[in-house]
A and B are shown apart, each in its own frame.
Chain A
Amino acid sequence: MTELNDRPPPEQGEPTTIAGKLQARQKLGGIVPPVLTAIFAFFMGGLVILGSGANPFDAYKGILEGAGIDWFWAHLGNTDILDLSTFNLTQTLLRTTTFAFTGLAVAFAFRCGMFNIGGQGQYTMGVVVGIWVGAYWGDALPNGLHVVVGILLAGVAGALWGGIAGILKATVGAHEVITTIMLNWIAFWFASYCFGQGGPLQNRTPGRESSPSSDSVYDNGVFIPTLWGDEGLQALHYGIFLAVAALIAFWLVMNRTTLGYEVRAVGFNPDAAKYGGISVKKNFFLAMAISGLFAGLAAAVDIFG
């Protein structure tokens, strides 16, 4: 049924419902609801900590310090915590790099109206391919190029894995939530086989058969150069700039390309997109594949980082 509304356009109306007020607030700046949500979460968490008999402020301080936030004032005097806080902060930023990619993965599919629950599986396939390339292609490629090829192919692996769900949705209408969860398990067992006893990607370094073969990737000298921190431990590498670049690329693709236009049109209103001559099916596939690409890149920065 068409809406044959006689009411003034919504923004002229005074919001009377709670949802209406929230919506008006959201217009003021999308930042408000997430900040409120976070504050509320801290508050609720604090109540739980209080209930268990501890001081919530001590607990939150511990969490933030564990994340390395004290690095920012460690220089001011208390230099004996510098090493620890540096390590903590680099670890936080490393995780941030990975999650930035997986977040973009979810966001891309979401803008096309789909829930990509399969980031895990796409990430796993990225890991498998990344390690395969990293550990075994060393003879064929010079080191620098090797890393680039490894990152790209891990991304492609994620894209293909995501694309399968996209194709299934476009052709037989299988819901992406179901198919991506199933694909997660396929990827999990495939990886378990590859890295397990007697598997094709089992670590071949004598004496290290039981450990994952990712350290042979490192031993090959195939890794993204580090930026900050102790190389022997896990140090922050240039992958974080890749994540920033990916974020910018995401925005550009979404808002400045015909591809992004189509993806958003399908996400907002598939019927109107079809009427506009856009192939809804093609975009289901593309959005899932690009979503998977981001997940695969998340794997790549972990493997080569």
Chain B
Amino acid sequence: MPDATVLEMRGIVKQFPGVLANDDVGFDLARGEVHALLGENGAGKSTLMNILYGLYKPDAGEILVSGEPVSFSSARDAIDSGLGMVHQHFMLIPVMTVAENIVLATEPTKTGVILDYDTARVRVRDLALQFGFAIDPDAKIEDISVGQQQRVEILKALYRRADILILDEPTAVLTPQEATELFGILKGLQREGMSIIFISHKLNEVLEIADRITVLRRGRKIDTVPREGATEEGLARMMVGREVLLRVDKPPATPGEVVLELEDVHVRDDRGIEKVRGVSLQVRTGEIVGIAGVDGNGQTELVEAITGLHRRESGRILVEGREMSPHASPLAMLESGVGHIPEDRHRYGLVLDFTLAENAALHDFRYPPDSRFGWLKPKVLIERTRRLIGEFDVRGGNPQTKARTLSGGNQQKLVVAREVDRDPRVLIAAQPTRGLDVGAIEYLHRRLVEERGAGRAVLLVSLELDEVLSLSDRILVMYEGKIVAEHASGVTEEEIGVEMLGGQREAAA
């Protein structure tokens, strides 16, 4: 139960060139408490934590650990004071074992130089047992799952005797099941007396795990509230600074003719494993068809087959009644009228080192008016991008800045702007709101519904079940490469949850 204050940050100010990242921010952390820092991207959560961890120096303000003022000039100082940070991107060495990674920099040695691996192993195993972690000390990092790697990071902090754990967006890289497991672990640690700072922009997570929630917006602390009595709507309003519609307001669908049709499509991945095992579906104009499913059940491969990025093994794909060859290139699929918001905007959606104008032309640079006889028309590109920036509210750049410098939400808006502006007959939206904050999600959801209203066919693939449920007119559940169920909108999360885990299939078998 929360009692003594173990950590306090007071009046922290941090000025970066051109942006006040933290403006008089403070919060306190009680022993055995999970304290969430909630805020949109760029609200100053990570800056605050980097200051706490000794990576940045604050311009003003103080940090107290157990009531004593401290001044950290490096992460080493912070670690010595009992802080442990689990970064969003893990700091592990892939070719080394779990035990080796955990003892790194504080290795037990024989005669001062040789690594005493056996001792390291035993210590790591004991530690894992003590906190109830299921993990093999001898496994190599590269062979274990992302969720397990995260546990290694947590163990690493515990090994260094941390009693305050900082988790930076810990669920961003996890599957829903792994996230649930993580929450179990955190609750266990809490019972052991650990104090945890949990950084997130996901409302439901914060309400599930935190005892108290501190909301940041644009570098300022808005409030600290206890979980009791907090609601998603209230927190969203504090985060964004205005009323946010968490439920999408949408008129009933008026489906027209079929524009995308799949018949018994099979796809193998690069390793030859059959990931899509006979999918048939139809998407009509004016409707959003959502595909729900746990990550890794063939959704990615299905989308790549439809967009021509990956060759299908067999089956037919028809766009507006025209059959597309299995060898159809991504260009052929584009030209047939398929638009694609890819699930990984950094890998596929954008060339990060291209300017916004160049990125906005990623499909159309080859056609007039973007180019004539092979010569690009920079003015046309820039003009169009300027229009899209205005229309889709892309902030933080102009047509000539590089896409890399935009925040994730604005990068995604640029991708969506490009895809919608091409006026495709069918829009494939794969994880369109992944990693985005509430305000951007609200905007993108509204936009997808508008596109549907404008008579576009939308195929939505998402791992966020509530996203699929709130946007889709029809919902297909994908499990192990097959569509195992179809629902009209209005189905409950519980029903679909069971089917996503294969429940329906077993019942039918």
Residues of A participating in the B interface, judged by any CB pair closer than 8 Å: 1-14, 16, 255-261, 264-265, 268-269, 271-279
Partner of B362 from A6, A13, A257, A276 at Cβ < 8 Å: A276
**Contacting pair A16 B56 (CB below 8 A):** yes
Indicate whether B467 reaches chain A with its CB closer than 8 angstroms: no
Tell whether A6 pairs with B201 under 8 Å between CB atoms, given A268-B353, A272-B350, A277-B334: yes
Residue numbers in A under 8 Å from B18 (CB-CB): 12
User: Which size bracket describes the interface of B in this complex?
Assistant: 35 or more
Question: Quick check: which of B133-141, B370-378, B487-495 contacts chain A, the rest being far away?
Answer: B370-378
Indicate whether B406 reaches chain A with its CB closer than 8 angstroms: yes
Closest beta carbon of chain A to B367's beta carbon, Å: 10
Tell whether A4 pairs with B173 under 8 Å between CB atoms, given A9-B405, A256-B375, A265-B354: yes
B:362-420 near A, CB below 8 Å? 362-363, 365-366, 371, 374-376, 378, 396, 404-408
**Contacting pair A268 B376 (CB below 8 A):** no
Tell whether A268 pairs with B352 under 8 Å between CB atoms, given A12-B17, A274-B309, A277-B330: yes
Chain B residue, CB-CB nearest to A274: B330
**Contacting pair A7 B46 (CB below 8 A):** yes
Knowing that A2-B344, A2-B347, A4-B88 are A-B contacts, what are 19 other residue pairs whose CB atoms are under 8 Å apart, sorted by A's residue number?
A: A3-B89, A5-B88, A5-B408, A6-B45, A6-B88, A6-B199, A7-B47, A8-B21, A9-B405, A256-B375, A256-B376, A257-B371, A258-B375, A261-B361, A268-B351, A269-B351, A272-B348, A277-B330, A277-B334
Bound-state CA distance A130–B419 (Å) is: 49
Residue numbers in A under 8 Å from B374 (CB-CB): 257-259
Residue numbers in B under 8 Å from A6 (CB-CB): 41-42, 45-46, 88, 168-169, 199, 201
Bound-state CA distance A259–B371 (Å) is: 11
Residue numbers in B under 8 Å from A3 (CB-CB): 89, 346, 408, 435
**Contacting pair B375 A276 (CB below 8 A):** no
Tell whether A9 pairs with B309 under 8 Å between CB atoms, given A257-B376, A265-B351: no
Closest beta carbon of chain B to A30's beta carbon, Å: 14
B:75-114 near A, CB below 8 Å? 88-89
**Contacting pair A8 B16 (CB below 8 A):** yes
Closest beta carbon of chain A to B169's beta carbon, Å: 6
Residue numbers in B under 8 Å from A278 (CB-CB): 331
Closest beta carbon of chain A to B193's beta carbon, Å: 28
Closest beta carbon of chain A to B51's beta carbon, Å: 12
Residue numbers in A under 8 Å from B343 (CB-CB): 2
**Contacting pair B88 A273 (CB below 8 A):** no
Residue numbers in A under 8 Å from B88 (CB-CB): 4-6
Bound-state CA distance A8–B410 (Å) is: 12
Tell whether A275 pairs with B340 under 8 Å between CB atoms, given A4-B434, A7-B46: yes
Closest beta carbon of chain B to A153's beta carbon, Å: 24
Tell whether A258 pairs with B351 under 8 Å between CB atoms, given A2-B346, A4-B408: no
Residue numbers in B under 8 Å from A276 (CB-CB): 330, 362-363
Residue numbers in A under 8 Å from B309 (CB-CB): 274-275
Bound-state CA distance A14–B19 (Å) is: 10
Residue numbers in B under 8 Å from A259 (CB-CB): 374
Tell whether A12 pairs with B365 under 8 Å between CB atoms, given A275-B309, A275-B330, A277-B330: no
Tell whether A11 pairs with B405 under 8 Å between CB atoms, given A268-B353, A277-B363: yes
**Contacting pair B42 A8 (CB below 8 A):** yes
**Contacting pair A256 B378 (CB below 8 A):** yes
Report, nearest first, the 5 A-B pairs whose CB atoms are least far apart: A277-B331, A4-B435, A276-B362, A4-B172, A275-B348
Tell whether A9 pairs with B345 under 8 Å between CB atoms, given A257-B376, A261-B376: no
Bound-state CA distance A299–B236 (Å) is: 67
Indicate whether B342 reaches chain A with its CB closer than 8 angstroms: yes
**Contacting pair B342 A4 (CB below 8 A):** no
Closest beta carbon of chain A to B75's beta carbon, Å: 12
Bound-state CA distance A8–B17 (Å) is: 11
Indicate whether B329 reaches chain A with its CB closer than 8 angstroms: yes
Residue numbers in B under 8 Å from A264 (CB-CB): 351, 354
Indicate whether B55 reaches chain A with its CB closer than 8 angstroms: yes
**Contacting pair B55 A16 (CB below 8 A):** yes
Chain B residue, CB-CB nearest to A261: B365
